[in-house]
Amino acid sequence: MSQSNYVRYDNQFHRPRRKKQNGGFSALIALTAVLVLTVVVVGLYTWISSMDSPKESTNETTSGSAGTSSKDIIITTATPVPPVTIASYQNPVLFPGKALMNVPMGQPASGLSPSERGVTQDVMTGDTVISPYTRSPAISMGDPVNFQSVPGILTFRGNNFRNCASWGTTEVTQGALTQMWDFNKVGTKASSSWAFSWSGTGWTGQPLAIQWDWDVQQMMNLYPDKKAKKGLTEVIIATMDGNVYFLDLDDGTQTRDPIYVGATIKGTPCVDPRGYPLLYVGQGDSNGVDGDANKLIGYRIYSLIDSKMLHFQNGMDSRAFRTNWGACDSSPIVNAASDTLLYPNENGMIYTLKLNTVFDKTAGTISINPESVAYRYLIDGISGSSIGIESSMSVYDHYGYCNDNSGNLICIDLNTMQLVWARQLDDDSDVTPVIEEDAGRVYLYVGTEVDWQRSDELDYMGASYTYKIDAMTGDEIWQTDQSCYTHNGVDKGDDINGGMLGTPIVGKQSISDLVIFSYCMTNGLYSGNRLVAYNKDTGEEVWTYEMNQYSWSSPVDVYDAEGNAYIVMCDSVGQIHLVNGKTGKRICYLQTIRNKGTANELKTGNMESSPIVFNGMIVIGTRAGSIFGVKIS
């Protein structure tokens, strides 16, 4: 409620009648001077008051008996509203939050409801099927600006909308990229099924970055100089040699010993968004080396206090409809308020864990006691062997969205664990759906690879389909496509898909009217990449940026303090491109160099992984075994 100040000024000054009397002239002058001075003082007071008092409304009234009048001036002052200030844990790229988070779920579009698709689905605790199921406490994830409690990029594409892999403003004054450091100690690991070895970082392979609370930094097993460093930003990156590495963003030096998972990791891990020292990481191959008993495949939870494993979920789950594979290439996400982990798996299960976390800062200990609730589904006409999920799950409130290996884009109510709608895309899709709330509606942006359009050809060209979808109904808003090539070598282990492998950008600030997709192998096999910016409303092309090399990497949008947009794009020969987000014109590019300044200097390899940008520093891994820090200036 606003406060009002009421000030009344009675402007009734009467000049005294002049009297003719002996000796009274001096007295008359003195009295006149007093009255004039009084008028001046009152006038000045009125003028100063009017300057100092903000006026939201002015009401004038006239009152009094015949022959008299008065004027009341009412000056209303609103209660001062404190300026909205950004908290340290809120990303300037996303601030202030715009999502209202109150868009209701609509009726599924025709042909998309579970009954129309012939869906079989179960919610399970252990081997027990629960029907009906109601989650307690309920999941509710809000605007991405409030996703976390510490500064950082803590999961693939940053948050529950999966819409931001950059943190902070990035000032582009020189239009230059400078290689600052190269961590080149990532090794290789033999594949479980093929003749080749996994090396470096793979798809999606995005690094994480976090600025720990000081008291948490002091309790972890960091090297002494890193533990004592003020303003430390720790980079966490999982690699295909079976390790999770920890680096200092400033110089690329290690901050602690790696965590040895022992099996190839291709996807992007997750750090607990509450700033708890917990790491959630999935496995990409069953190539553990410590005996048959440890050649298990699934996902793990580690304490970052002492690097000990706290939980393992075997992906070779007898309950799954897909029983022959259990990798976890998707990036998990944690709902802080309900203490719940969400983790889709390539066996077709969606695992949710009520973690029951106990974090004792005084004792410097952390523990979990997970309660697992798993979900499985099967759609008529689709084999259980092809139902696995490689995309990461995006979340609007309590609705989760992801794609499966059968080309289904699904929406699931995470509090009842029931499918809301499922639509068939026109090809396989592994990219993560990106959420946008706009003008009272919620939308998804997603696209496909070129995979199923072949007949028996080893090499072929097809369409990479691009969609804007109504997230509340599954209805298609617009659809378009780009031509791309694919090499079908799946039976030999040398397949490489063209089309859309990178997760799209939903534009912000100066490019809030654009959505930007990346298409690979646009010029031929292993050749060409095209960034295309579309008008969000119409799907019409606004600009394109052509590259000679192909790329599976996801583009990243960064912004300066004035809101001007720039796009960072990495390619298959280790080049990083910086593009004007408004026009699609290249500003510059950089060829990264492994062992720079030594006799063993050489151009680096494929940047199959996706980058992050933290306060103007790009961090990106390569298949050649290097992780680079590159400064934008």
> pTM of the full predicted structure?
0.87
Distance, in Å, from the CA atom of 613 to the CA atom of 164, rounded to the nearest integer, reads: 10
Where does CATH 2.130.10.10 sit in the chain?
A: 114-632
pLDDT of residue 431: 97
On whether the CB atoms of residues 472 and 107 are closer than 8 A, the answer is no
Domain 114-632 coded CATH 2.130.10.10: yes
Quickly count: other Cβ atoms within 10 Å of residue 489's Cβ.
Answer: 12
Q: How many Cβ atoms sit within 10 Å of the Cβ of residue 111?
A: 12
Phi and psi based region of residue 29 (left: phi greater than 0; alpha: psi -120 to 50; beta: remaining) = alpha
- By the 8 A CB rule, do 143 and 163 touch? no
What CA–CA distance (Å, rounded) separates 573 from 301?
A: 34
β-pair type (612-614, 166-167) = parallel
pLDDT at 609: 98
Rounded Cα gap, residues 400 and 59, in angstroms: 54
Q: What is the DSSP pairing of strand 350-354 with strand 371-379?
A: antiparallel
Q: What does the alpha-carbon distance between residue 469 and residue 477 come to, in Å, rounded to a whole number?
A: 5
CA distance 392 to 165: 14
Predicted confidence at residue 454, as pLDDT, reads 76
Amino acid present at 448:
T
Predicted local distance difference test score (pLDDT) of residue 296: 84
Tally of helices (H runs) and strands (E runs) in the chain: 4, 47
Which residue ranges in the chain fall short of pLDDT 70? 1-78, 81-83, 289-295, 455, 489-494
> Strand runs (DSSP E) across 458-597, as ranges?
459-470, 476-487, 498-499, 505-506, 514-524, 527-535, 541-547, 556-559, 565-570, 575-580, 586-591, 593-594
Residue 26 pLDDT: 43
Element holding 454 (H helix, E strand): none
Contact yes or no for 510/542 (Cβ under 8 A): no
Distance CA 620, CA 237 (A): 9
Spatial CB neighbours of 33, under 8 Å, sequence gap ≥ 6: none
Report the candidate in 240, 297, 289, 286 with the shortest Cα–Cα distance to residue 266: 240
